[in-house]
Structures are given as structure tokens and as C-alpha cells.
Amino acid sequence: MRSLSIDTVEDQTSALFTVGPGSLHSTMTSLVGGLRMAQEFKHQPVLRDEVTELFTPVPTGVIVDATLGGAGHSEALLEARSDIGILGLDRDETALRAAGRRLGVFGSRVVMQHARFSAISGIVEQGRQGVTPWPHVSGTDEPLGVAGILADLGVSSPQIDSAERGFSFSQDGPFDMRMDESQGMTASAFLDQVTLDELTAILRENGEGRFARRIAKALLEARPVSTTQEVVDVVDRAVPKANRRRGHVASRVFQAFRISVNSEMSELSTLLEAAVGLLIPEGRLVVISYHSGEDAMVKHLFRSWQAGGCTCPSHLPCVCGAVSLGTVLTKRAVVASDDEIAANPRARSARLRCFEVAS
């Protein structure tokens, strides 16, 4: 795994190519079947203003954008604060190339790395020790600490809109769903090896309770399945017409496969457990989730950190000696405004929570 300064990103052959300010342009290159093709990469960052506001008070330091994507959040943070750097992580090389062009003007304040965010501890340690590049802010000598971590979970609009990625049930394409196209098991391969009980449980965990086993059985009987349209057709046949709301069942099935193929829940758990130990005092962790299971995990852990493991009854003062790790700054999850949802309907399910480490 190699870190990259903003002047370079790494493609699947490990070759480096310039993406600095002199080469900014509106199109980008992606690898499809070994060929390079130009396509637009446009993504509206969800809750951008709210994210920027929450990171405004953090100390000088590095903010780790654990899901860099199109870099909309990072760009806003860099413009708002001249004394912060960005370490951007993403599993999607296509997103990294787009982010490199967008952030090229910020020079050494930005470092990007092609990596899972569950690897954050090792990446931060190597960067701060000088083993790999680390963001640099003018006027600072020592390696900056981690003042913030941002994780905007889920799938970006360009990923959904690209039929070749297999994330969307509304477009026919390969049943792939990998965030990182260079490695891992496709959704089709995952379906080939999963058992009926396992797939039923996966579907139930993602909200498809009533017809979970019926859909799972139909999908296994239809194997091998190689395209998204095949999956949609199987799901449609498995669910009685009277119980079928157009798109709803297929969307939950696709979400279930995506979460499983990319190990999203275990990835998030690892990130959260590492994050609180990486942040400097008064540093902040901001998580935007789009799935009830993710949000529940974040909410539970944030409350646990604030309580410091306290076992006393909630209506009584603490006498067990627990020490709080910090404060949950969002009593309720922050959601998108009606105006934002109208402009970007995919923001409808977003839930933002923020935790600040004790000083």
C-alpha cells in the first residue's frame, strides 16, 4: 500500500500520473474491461455545510476523509480552514483520480491513499512517522496530529449511475458491486458460494423480513447470476405482485448484497474502534450513515464513549469511576433539509452524528 501526494494517484498497474492544478479538467479516466474511457464524475456531497461547520472549531491538524469520493467535503474544509491538511482514503481508484484533479490546487496540504478505511490506524502511524507522505501545512514543522475524521458511508452518485459497477437495480450491468474493482469477490461470486440460511439472514438484516427466505431460495435456484437485471427479474418473480412496491424490494436486496460484498459493517466497526484513539484532544469524528444498522452502531458507540463505560443507573450520579472519552455533539442525528433533498434526493436517508474527544 503506497501513499500518494496530491501530485499523483496510483492506477491498477501502480503507475503514477500527474493530477495537479496544471491538468485539471472536467472528464476523468476509469478502467472498464481493461480499457480507459472518459466519463463525467459529479457527486454532490451530502450535508456539506453541516460537516464544514462541525469541523470549524477543531485544532490545527489533519482531517482524515476516510471516504474521499469526489472530494466535495474535503474541498469545502480546505477552503474554510487554511491550517488543516487532508488525508484522503478511498477504495475506488476512479474516485481518487477525480479527487486528485479537484484538490490539486491545495498542493502538499493533501495526501491521498488507495485503501480501505479500516486500515486507518496503520496509515496514520506510518504517515506521522515519515514512512509515507503526510499532509503539510505552511508554518508547521512537526507532523500534525489528527484533528478530525470524516466518514460519509454508502455509495456515491457516480458509482450508482455507472451501470458497469453493478450497484443500481435500475440499470442492467455486471452483478459486481465491489467498491474496489481491483480486488475482492463480486456479488455474482458471493451469490455462488453463499448458503440459503446465510443469504436469508443477510436479507432479513437489511429490512427484507417477510419474503427474505423466498427471495434467497429463488436467487440460489437461479445461479449462476451474472447481471443486475437477472437479479431484479428473480426478485420480481419471488415476491407476489400484490406485495410488490416498484423498486423497494429490489433496492433492499441490492443494498444487502453491497453491504456483504464490501464487508461494510465490519469495516465501519474497525474504523470506529480505531478513530477515538487517533484523535487529538478536542478532535472530532463525524459519520454520515444511510442505513439503520450503520446509524445504530454509531449512536450506540458514541453514547458508550461519552458514558466512559459507566454502569450506574442513568438517573443517579456516577460512582463507579468511569471516565468519559468525550461528548456526543449531536443529541439527535442531523438530517438533510427539504431544500437539499429536493436538489439531491439521495440525501433523504442520510443521518449525521458527531463526537468530540475530551480536552
Give the pTM.
0.86
Mean pLDDT of the chain: 87
pLDDT in tens, 306-323: 999 888 888 888 888 899
Query: For the chain, how big is the Rg over CA atoms in Å?
Result: 21
CATH class of the domain defined by 3-157+265-357: alpha beta
Q: Is the pLDDT of residue 25 over 80?
A: no
Q: Residues near 217 by Cβ (< 8 Å), separated by ≥ 6?
A: 196, 238
Let me know if the fold of 3-157+265-357 is the same as that of 180-261: no
Q: Is the pLDDT of residue 110 over 70?
A: yes
CATH class of the domain defined by 180-261: mainly alpha
Residue 247: its pLDDT value, please?
58
Report which secondary-structure segment, H or E, holds 244. Answer: none
Ranges of each domain in the chain:
3-157+265-357, 180-261
C-alpha span between 340 and 141 (Å, rounded): 40
